[in-house]
Amino acid sequence: MKNLVFLGPPGAGKGTQAARISARLGLPHISTGNILRAAIKEGTPIGLKAKSYMDAGNLVPDEVVIGIVKDRIAKDDCANGYILDGFPRTLPQAEALAQITQITMAVNIAVEDELLVKRLSGRRVCPACGLTTHVNSYSGANCPTCGAALIQRADDNEATIRNRLSVYNKQTQPLIDFYQQRGILETVDGYQDIDLVTDAIVRAIEA
């Protein structure tokens, strides 16, 4: 069983790597950010509640995201494991998760703040297939994989990015100790080339 948590600051490459590892190992990729953005788009009660927090770069209340994850990991496709991307983000979330399931490994993708601001402010995402690109490496307006028009996330502006990094440092960083103390933390250097990061994660998971 591979019940994995991907940790790391916004812009470290959690989403990109989770999608790649999901494809390689056949585990479902569960991103609370993606689930919340879909809820906002659909105008569901959860979406309405989450929007103002997300636009400001603050965390959505614990009980909302815990409920989402609890329902999601109970589904059949999670029987052999899953990849949680962007959850948990607070100690109460990590504690709630430990009550409902056993996490087998937490992968921490480490990158420093200044690079994160550059990565996030130039980030573009494909709303159709989920591909993430950067203006420095790809200047087209349409997704190179599926052709849909690329968009910039509402929270990828500099003021919101700085707040998200500060929220991460205060509220999510302590989870590194949480999983270290449980002996299941693996840290991967997130500065390396994207393929090397993927390989390092696969090696850690399969070791």
Q: Which of 3, 22, 32, 198 binds ligand AMP (CB under 6 A)?
A: 32
Catalytic residue among 49, 51, 70, 153, which?
153
Name which of 155 and 186 has its Cβ closer to ligand AMP.
155
Catalytic residue among 20, 37, 89, 124, which?
89
Q: Which residues, at least 6 apart from 187, have a Cβ–Cβ distance to it below 8 Å?
A: 108, 110, 176
Q: Confirm whether 119 is a catalytic residue.
A: no
Site string for ligand AMP, 55-74 (x = CB under 6 A): --xxxx----x---------
Q: Is 54 in the site for ligand AMP (CB under 6 A)?
A: yes
Contact 105, 153 (CB under 8 A): no
Whether cis (ω within 30° of 0) applies to the bond prior to 144 is no
Q: Is 86 in the site for ligand AMP (CB under 6 A)?
A: yes
Name which of 85 and 186 has its Cβ closer to ligand AMP.
85
**Binding residue count for ligand AMP, defined by CB under 6 A:** 18
Name which of 38 and 79 has its Cβ closer to ligand AMP.
38
Smallest distance, Å, CB 207 to ligand AMP? 26
Q: Which of 36, 175, 200, 205 binds ligand AMP (CB under 6 A)?
A: 36
Q: Which residues contact ligand AMP by CB under 6 A?
A: 10, 32-33, 36, 53-54, 57-60, 65, 86-89, 93, 155, 164
List the catalytic residues: 14, 89, 123, 153, 164
